[in-house]
Chains A and B, each alone.
Chain A
Amino acid sequence: MIWSLDIAMLFFLVVAALAAISVKDLLSAVIILSLYSLIMAIVWVELRAVDVAFTEASVGAGITTVLFIFALVRTTGRSED
């Protein structure tokens, strides 16, 4: 385990989470959420949870994002907060 990398990852996680909830453009927010999931997957690989990381990468970063994007296509991409 590489401490600094780990800490950096976790730091990125927080930044990504904050960005995802504060960006006004929902599409960006969703992309950031996908990125967040991806970082999370890497963190989990670090924690030796490969199965979970695999799932998170394919579901959290993959399918969830796709669903979000198409839901946004069907609704609106703008948010007021």
Chain B
Amino acid sequence: MIEDLILAKYNYWIYVTLMMIGFYAVIAKKNLVKKVIGLNIFSTAIFLFYISIGDVIGGTEPIYIHGEHVVYVNPIPHVLILTGIVVSVSITAVALALIIKIYEEFGTIEEDQILELQS
């Protein structure tokens, strides 16, 4: 029973772990770059979850193979996650641009130090 739970869903456990790691970095780390790294881990974890739910045992890639009857894995999560990755990189880019600007203005990228410098 418990083996079933662990083995049949191991991807989920990994994704939960990764998400917790990323989330922790986002809310607990003071360094802004670390926060962004955390965001990346956080979102990739969600992507892993999406890809995992699309998987089918014994399936093949969702690209047509003519003449054979095969089981394809579910392509929808792939499509969604392609979008997700793009969104993630966009946000990373904007966040990094902000960090560069913050460093120019405040001379540091540690959140607590910036808060002290703020008026």
Contact = CB atoms under 8 A, between A and B. Distances in A.
Contacts of B93: 67
What is the predominant secondary structure among interface residues of chain A facing chain B? helix
Contacts of B97: 71
Q: How large is the interface on B (under 10, 10 to 19, 20 to 34, 35 or more residues)?
A: 35 or more
A49 interface: yes
A35 interface: no
B14 A67 contact: no
Interface of A: 1, 7, 10, 13-14, 17-18, 20-21, 26, 29-30, 33, 36-37, 40, 43-44, 47-52, 55-56, 59-60, 63-64, 67-68, 71-72, 74-76, 79-81
25 contacts: A1-B57, A13-B18, A14-B18, A21-B41, A29-B37, A36-B44, A37-B40, A47-B52, A48-B73, A49-B73, A49-B77, A51-B78, A52-B81, A59-B85, A59-B86, A60-B44, A60-B88, A64-B40, A64-B92, A71-B99, A71-B100, A75-B33, A75-B103, A76-B109, A79-B34
